[in-house]
Chains A and B, each alone.
Chain A
């Protein structure tokens, strides 16, 4: 399609700019942070705002069914231990990734769900980006909708936040580009007809119009890394979780929107 030649031209333009992108501004001041929701068209905002028309709600409904489904050798459903998700899961997604003792490091929401499946339900883990994983993580995360993002101040998280920050600022790939150069230094400007967002993970898993389906933050990060012409990590790699943790810390206080709609 005509996207390919245009993309190549974009790559060339950035390469020619030689990394001399304007304004190394550093971290965005807390009171200047904004969700990419603000940059969407009226119609796309309406798609997100209306639960009867938000395609992400289809996954939330599937997740609600999964919540009550008995699974694994335990014969238990999520509901059997956690009861009503509206109560027990409120605020949970807003503080993930969180430190997990059995893993000895932070895990994201999807990994935490799989730990429960394996350890508590004695069931097989869901594959990353599988319909069931997206549905259940959407259902859990939407219970935090409207809640402020609130990563724990557990001191064990600090070195991982630092690793995530280092990855965010790492210049990588064929364009020698870092996340920060676009999302800290040049947010609000335009790239090939799109507004560069600040990149806050307020609504994951999101219904992305580009994918025409729901997808996780890891998928979005892989998407970015491919777009930057850099090497992606495997799904579940600690680098992603470190980045997710840093991004959530960077977005602390902003409201959760799951399931968000994004172009």
Chain B
């Protein structure tokens, strides 16, 4: 009886703590697993691909992002794919793009969401099967006067 009550209180305390609602966050582990799904067993080296993100962001809802890869984009030597993943968004994948020699240039821009200050990683797969990466640490500032949802 005694130990059951203590166990009950312990569970109740634990349940109360769990009521602090937090959206699921990607972790460095889930980003690593997302990278493994892209790269498989191959090694990934820094270089060739360049990720362009502002180091300090006014609003994480819309952040201009550019990705360029140093590649001649010829039939013999081109970028096959570009991937971007994040460390702390609720899920790690951002975008995956298939390219080919018809692109002429591996140069893509888009706008992404960043939930919090974190690291963003860009990966490219080349036609010779090699993988290259770049990463940037981005600081997100939070707004002061926010309106309630809806």
A101 interface contact, C-beta 8 A: no
Contact assessment for B141 and A194 in the assembled complex, using a CB-CB cutoff below 8 Å: yes
A176 interface contact, C-beta 8 A: no
Contact assessment for A210 and B142 in the assembled complex, using a CB-CB cutoff below 8 Å: no
B11 interface contact, C-beta 8 A: no
Contact assessment for A193 and B141 in the assembled complex, using a CB-CB cutoff below 8 Å: yes
Q: How many chain B residues touch the partner (CB < 8 A)?
A: 21
* Interface set, chain B 15-61, CB cutoff 8 A to A: 22-23, 54, 56-59, 61
Q: How far is the CB of A234 from chain B (nearest CB, A)?
A: 15
Known contacts A41-B54, A41-B58, A44-B58; decide if A3 and B144 are in contact (CB<8 Å): no
* Complex contacts, A228 vs chain B, CB 8 Å: 145
Q: Which of A21-29, A155-163, A218-226, A241-249 contacts B (4 or more CB under 8 A)?
A: A218-226
* Complex contacts, A10 vs chain B, CB 8 Å: 144
A2 interface contact, C-beta 8 A: yes
* Complex contacts, B146 vs chain A, CB 8 Å: 3, 7, 210, 223, 226-227
Bound-complex Cα distance A192 to B23 (A): 22
* Interface set, chain A 6-41, CB cutoff 8 A to B: 6-7, 10, 40-41
Q: How far is the CB of B59 from chain A (nearest CB, A)?
A: 4
Contact assessment for A2 and B144 in the assembled complex, using a CB-CB cutoff below 8 Å: no
Known contacts A192-B143, A192-B144; decide if A43 and B61 are in contact (CB<8 Å): no
A81 interface contact, C-beta 8 A: no
Bound-complex Cα distance A46 to B54 (A): 13
Contact assessment for A3 and B142 in the assembled complex, using a CB-CB cutoff below 8 Å: yes
Q: How many chain A residues touch the partner (CB < 8 A)?
A: 29
Contact assessment for A222 and B147 in the assembled complex, using a CB-CB cutoff below 8 Å: yes
Contact assessment for B142 and A6 in the assembled complex, using a CB-CB cutoff below 8 Å: yes
A212 interface contact, C-beta 8 A: yes
- Which of A192, A212, A226 is close to B147, meaning CB atoms less than 8 Å apart? A226
* Complex contacts, A219 vs chain B, CB 8 Å: 147
- Which of A1, A192, A227, A263 is close to B59, meaning CB atoms less than 8 Å apart? A263
A209 interface contact, C-beta 8 A: yes
Contact assessment for B147 and A191 in the assembled complex, using a CB-CB cutoff below 8 Å: no
Bound-complex Cα distance A209 to B142 (A): 12
Q: How far is the CB of B109 from chain A (nearest CB, A)?
A: 9
Contact assessment for A40 and B58 in the assembled complex, using a CB-CB cutoff below 8 Å: yes
* Interface set, chain B 123-150, CB cutoff 8 A to A: 141-148
Bound-complex Cα distance A48 to B121 (A): 27
- Which of B57, B62, B145 is close to A227, meaning CB atoms less than 8 Å apart? B145
Q: How far is the CB of B87 from chain A (nearest CB, A)?
A: 15
* Complex contacts, A222 vs chain B, CB 8 Å: 147
B64 interface contact, C-beta 8 A: yes
A47 interface contact, C-beta 8 A: yes
Q: How far is the CB of B17 from chain A (nearest CB, A)?
A: 15
Instruction: Tell me the A residues contacting B by CB distance below 8 Å.
Output: 1-3, 6-7, 10, 40-44, 46-47, 191-194, 209-212, 219, 222-224, 226-228, 263
Instruction: Tell me the B residues contacting A by CB distance below 8 Å.
Output: 22-23, 54, 56-59, 61-64, 115-116, 141-148
Q: List, sorted by A's number, 28 A–B pairs whose CB atoms are closer than 8 Å.
A: A1-B23, A2-B116, A3-B146, A7-B144, A7-B146, A10-B144, A41-B54, A41-B57, A41-B58, A43-B54, A43-B63, A192-B142, A193-B141, A194-B58, A209-B62, A210-B59, A210-B61, A210-B143, A210-B146, A210-B147, A212-B61, A212-B62, A226-B145, A226-B146, A226-B148, A227-B144, A263-B59, A263-B143
